[in-house]
């Protein structure tokens, strides 16, 4: 693919938990993907907390950009627009000189329990352990020496965006995972900011919280321009010119919603990877706080109920690895995709309730299930039907088990859901995980082909949207985000959804009853092992 001389191209960047991915699209037709680039990376424990070195952010981005360029006939001389997406939540704290005060603390850390509980009671809304304000409050409670020097805090997407543009801003969706958002103002809740400052009075924290947080922007607003320094950070070769428009940086939850076209009320999406989470756009507020749910927003600022589970498909991948090695040891090696497809298709032959088998995918702690740590478990009783088909169905059910617990709370709230869209590698074998998820949610589930590019494509779409809005100026005809996605990206045609099978729905419900009861076994394993 030949790159034009700097116009007509939009770049999406996503920093995920295991991969940094870039996606290049046409600005006037963002559904057309021109090239992608990627770089693998991994978190590590630093002083007992999960982190990524910031040097690896830039070396990884440069490697992913070089990989993207390698798929083009010539490197882009310039770009119309750029979008940055990354893992939400976490804690990046800087001093007045812009120096990082402590290593980046990711969403995966669960040391913030006392602060999260304190803030949830103070605000009257659920503040999960992974939220940035919980990390900040915990640092204050623990009397960490760096607190007195904090001049700003941000997310990973906000940090990368600031280095590329010089602007300290954040998309409202990502900001809603730092601190609660007032849906009417589409900005941080002023009363809760004041309550936090009152709570922090007398502590080492030197500034009001509002001064520490990035400015909030909604989708379509300009987030700054790529500076010469930012261009050199992406492309050290010097071929990339500055000047590209950047949209507000967003979190992976928001860009997943865009990638699946699920930003309107009564729609939602499920993203399955290392973690798994569901986003459901609300028509009205929840009746009360729920530990299993946190309220965030779409990139346009509309309220969303989020069920976030720390554990996704990693344990399933370990089982697939076991069978892959067996095939190799038996002298019949198979690639991983073939093993996945074979085992997934076998799962469909299993009993609807998985034959009495039970699988927990908890490699890490799982707040939705009330677990501070994880122990993967596979449990059966003497009268369970222990077959390969039932085993694999149980493992697939286990991927969605904790998610289903949280989604049951939405059912109790009377939240209406017309359609769920799903994306993630687990859905690559057509019709299997999609069917299981439809049973778990008792709702139609669609898997769009465009979702395969994930958040990198989703934020490229947001960047193209911002470019179109900038070109339209104050024109009344400029579309809103939902209209833009329906008309310009997805072409007005919905991806067919798979309706839940009643037998599967009843079988998963029976499985979930055992799953809920068996959490006591999981908790005992955490204590004993």
CA distance 309 to 370: 11
Q: What is the 3-state secondary structure (H, E, C) of 74-124?
A: CCCCCCCEEEEEECCCCEEEECCCCCECCCCECCCCCCCHHHHHHHHHHHC
Give the number of C-alpha atoms closer than 13 A to the C-alpha of residue 340, restricted to the C-beta side.
16
Terminal C-alpha separation, the chain: 54
Token duo for residue 328: 């190799």
203 Cβ contact list (under 8 Å, min separation 6):
140, 147
- Sequential DSSP letters for 464-489: HHHHHHHHHTT-TT---HHHHIIIII
CA distance 327 to 453: 30
CA distance 436 to 325: 26
CA distance 276 to 316: 13
Q: Please, are residues 347 and 432 in contact by the beta-carbon 8 Å criterion?
A: yes
**Residue among 288, 294, 298 at smallest CA distance from 267:** 298
Helix, strand, coil in percent for the chain, rounding step 5 = 40, 20, 40
Do domains 9-254 and 262-447+499-529 share one topology? The answer is yes
The confidence score (pLDDT) of residue 495 equals 74
The confidence score (pLDDT) of residue 273 equals 82
320 Cβ contact list (under 8 Å, min separation 6):
336, 339, 340, 343
Could you report the per-residue pLDDT of 395-423, keeping only the tens digit for each? 999 999 999 999 999 989 999 888 889 88
Q: In this structure, is the dihedral angle defined by the CA atoms of residues 297, 298, 303 and 307, taken in order, positive or negative?
A: negative
Q: Please, are residues 274 and 42 in contact by the beta-carbon 8 Å criterion?
A: no
**Residue among 244, 39, 50 at smallest CA distance from 161:** 244
User: What stretches in the chain show pLDDT beneath 50?
Assistant: 1-6
Report the Cα 432 to chain-centroid distance in Å.
22
Our CA angle for 107, 132, 201, nearest 5°, is 150
CA distance 366 to 310: 6
**Residue among 387, 389, 363 at smallest CA distance from 375:** 363
Q: Please, are residues 254 and 266 in contact by the beta-carbon 8 Å criterion?
A: no
**Which residue's entry shows tokens 């507000």?**
248
The confidence score (pLDDT) of residue 477 equals 57
- The residue ranges of every structural domain in the chain are 9-254, 262-447+499-529
Q: Which helix (H) or strand (E) holds 322?
A: helix 314-329
How many CB atoms sit inside 10 A of residue 413's CB?
17
> What DSSP designation does 348 have?
T
Q: What is the CATH number of domain 262-447+499-529?
A: 3.30.420.40
**Which residue's entry shows tokens 């990376």?**
41
CA distance 52 to 50: 7
**Which residue's entry shows tokens 């920093």?**
15
The confidence score (pLDDT) of residue 430 equals 86
The confidence score (pLDDT) of residue 476 equals 52
Token duo for residue 173: 């969706």
Q: Please, are residues 318 and 274 in contact by the beta-carbon 8 Å criterion?
A: no
The confidence score (pLDDT) of residue 478 equals 62
To the nearest 10 degrees (0 to 180), the angle between helices 314-329 and 336-347 is 110
pTM score > 0.75 for this model? yes
Q: In this structure, is the dihedral angle defined by the CA atoms of residues 498, 503, 504 and 506, taken in order, positive or negative?
A: positive
**Residue among 460, 513, 326 at smallest CA distance from 31:** 460
Cα–Cα distances in angstroms (integers) from residue 374 to residues 16, 365, 367, 386, in the given order: 22, 5, 10, 24
Phi and psi at 65, nearest 5°, equal -65, -40
The confidence score (pLDDT) of residue 5 equals 39
Q: Please, are residues 249 and 170 in contact by the beta-carbon 8 Å criterion?
A: yes
CA distance 166 to 354: 54
**Residue among 518, 498, 198 at smallest CA distance from 356:** 518
CA distance 143 to 6: 50
CA distance 2 to 69: 10
**Which residue's entry shows tokens 């812009």?**
98
The confidence score (pLDDT) of residue 451 equals 55
β-pair partners for 85: 14, 250
CA distance 379 to 422: 28
- Sequential DSSP letters for 243-258: --EEPPPEEHHHHHHH
CA distance 137 to 119: 8
The confidence score (pLDDT) of residue 296 equals 95
CATH architecture under which domain 9-254 falls: 2-Layer Sandwich (3.30)
**Which residue's entry shows tokens 């039932």?**
390
């Amino acid at each position: 693919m030949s790159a034009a001389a700097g116009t007509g191209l939009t770049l999406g960047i996503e920093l995920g938990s295991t991969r940094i991915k870039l996606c290049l699209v046409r600005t006037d037709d963002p559904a057309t993907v021109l090239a992608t680039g990627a770089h693998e990376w991994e978190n590590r424990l630093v002083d007992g907390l999960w982190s990524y070195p910031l040097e690896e952010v830039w070396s990884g981005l440069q490697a992913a950009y070089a990989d993207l360029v390698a798929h083009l006939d010539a490197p882009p001389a310039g770009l119309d627009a750029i979008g940055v997406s990354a893992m939400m939540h976490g804690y990046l704290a800087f001093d007045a000189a812009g120096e990082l005060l402590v290593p980046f603390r990711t969403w995966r850390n669960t040391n913030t329990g006392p602060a999260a509980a304190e803030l949830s009671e103070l605000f009257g809304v659920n503040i999960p352990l992974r939220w940035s304000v919980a990390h900040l409050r915990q640092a204050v409670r623990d009397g960490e020496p760096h607190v007195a020097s904090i001049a700003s805090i941000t997310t990973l997407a906000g940090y990368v965006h600031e280095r590329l543009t010089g602007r300290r801003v954040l998309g409202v969706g990502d900001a809603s995972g730092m601190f609660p958002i007032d849906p009417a103002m589409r900005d941080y809740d002023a009363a809760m900011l004041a309550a936090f400052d009152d709570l922090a009075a007398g502590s080492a924290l030197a500034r009001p919280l509002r001064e520490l947080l990035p400015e909030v922007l909604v989708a379509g607003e300009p987030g700054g321009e790529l500076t010469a320094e930012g261009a050199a950070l992406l492309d050290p070769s010097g071929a990339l010119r500055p000047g590209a428009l950047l949209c507000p940086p967003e979190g992976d939850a928001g860009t997943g919603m865009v990638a699946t076209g699920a930003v309107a009320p009564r729609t939602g999406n499920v993203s399955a990877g290392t973690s798994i989470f569901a986003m459901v756009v609300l028509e009205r507020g929840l009746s009360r706080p729920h530990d299993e749910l946190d309220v965030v927003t779409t990139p346009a600022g509309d309220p969303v109920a989020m069920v976030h589970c720390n554990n996704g498909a990693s344990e399933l991948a370990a089982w697939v690895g076991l069978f892959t090695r067996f095939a190799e040891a038996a002298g019949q090696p198979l690639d991983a995709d073939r093993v996945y497809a074979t085992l997934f298709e076998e799962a469909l032959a299993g009993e609807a309730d998985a034959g009495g088998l039970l699988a927990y995918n908890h490699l890490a702690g799982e707040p939705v299930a009330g677990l501070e740590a994880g122990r993967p478990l596979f449990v059966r009783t003497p009268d369970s039907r222990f077959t390969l088909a039932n085993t694999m169905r149980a493992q697939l059910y286990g991927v969605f088990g904790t998610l289903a617990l949280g989604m049951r709370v939405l059912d109790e709230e009377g939240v209406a859901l017309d359609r769920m869209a799903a994306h993630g590698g687990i859905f690559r074998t057509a019709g299997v995980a999609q069917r299981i998820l439809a049973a778990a949610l008792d709702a139609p589930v669609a898997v769009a082909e465009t979702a395969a590019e994930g958040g990198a494509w989703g934020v490229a779409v947001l960047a193209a949207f911002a470019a179109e809005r900038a070109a339209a100026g104050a024109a009344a005809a400029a579309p809103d985000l939902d209209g833009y996605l329906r008309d310009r990206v997805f072409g007005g045609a919905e991806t067919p959804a798979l309706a839940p099978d009643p037998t599967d729905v009843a079988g998963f419900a029976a499985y979930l009853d055992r799953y809920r009861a068996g959490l006591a076994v999981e908790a005992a394993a955490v204590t004993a092992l």
